[in-house]
Amino acid sequence: MRFILGLTGGIGSGKSAASQWFESQNIVVVDADIVAREIVELGQPALAQIHQTFGDWVLLENGELNRRALREHIFQNPTARKTLENITHPAIRASIIQQLQNAQSAYVILVSPLLFETNQYQLAQHTLLIDASEELQIQRASQRDEQNIEQIEKIISAQMPRQEKQKLANDVVLNDGQLEHLYEKLQPLHEKYLAMAQQYSS
Ligand code: ADP
């Protein structure tokens, strides 16, 4: 069995920055957001199922998923959202499990913005929250994505409040300084996870 660390945090909290640091320490990171896009790529069974369920309008002329049309459709229609999730969630979960199993590193990280909101946390032996104030989240995410502040606030309010995530996570890193400070806080945790992983596999 492998030791899996679940890494989460709200939008703009610094999940990707933390993930990149762990990757620089030769730890494989499986990103749930990337997996969610992969499973609806051309030729994937989940895309065929979505096409069959929703109809031709859900595809672009080149056969790829029309994300914008689908997003607008489910935004107005909770039943359609549920139908879509019933197709995508099992496919995402199966692919995450496979990638976690295939990974070759001392331990493996599953990074997901919705680790605690979904059952993904159950895949992890231990969890780490990258935490930041809402002001910092908005400032960083708006600089990164050129999204307007209103959109980012909407995403934040749809995610689990940080106080609740703080209670659920095994470790919490407050990312309120420079990136160097974040890395300095991650170093001792990485050493702890290496030791935990060794115990876990022995
Ligand atoms: P998330 O993946 O949680 O949405 P990111 O890691 O992408 O967040 O961080 C959001 C943006 O803020 C990125 O452009 C990132 O480089 C930047 N950032 C993250 N942490 C810091 C920090 N401590 N100091 C300065 N910029 C940061």
CA distance 5 to 138: 26
Q: Which fold has domain 1-27+107-202?
A: Rossmann fold (3.40.50)
Q: Ligand 1 mean position to 155 CA, how many Å?
A: 16
**Six-digit token string for 185:** 């806080």
The token pair at 23 is 């990757």
- pLDDT tens digits for range 11-46: 999 999 999 999 999 999 999 999 999 999 999 999
* Residues in contact with ligand 1 (CB, 6 Å cut-off): 9, 11-17, 140-141, 144, 175, 177-179, 182
Pick the CATH number of 32-104 from 3.20.20.70, 2.40.160.40, 3.40.50.300, 3.30.160.150: 3.40.50.300
Atom of ligand 1 nearest to the CA of 176: 23
Asked whether the beta carbons of 27 and 107 are under 8 A apart, the reply is yes
Edge-to-edge order in the sheet of strand 28-31: 28-31, 108-111, 4-8, 126-131, 171-174
**pLDDT tens-digit series, residues 83-129:** 999 999 999 999 999 999 999 999 999 999 999 998 899 999 999 99
In the annotated binding site for ATP, the residues are 12-17
| Each residue's pLDDT tens digit, 151-160 | 899 999 989 9
Strand ranges (DSSP E) for 24-181? 28-31, 108-111, 126-131, 171-174
Instruction: In the chain, list all ranges with CATH 3.40.50.300.
Output: 1-27+107-202, 32-104
Per-residue pLDDT at 113: 94
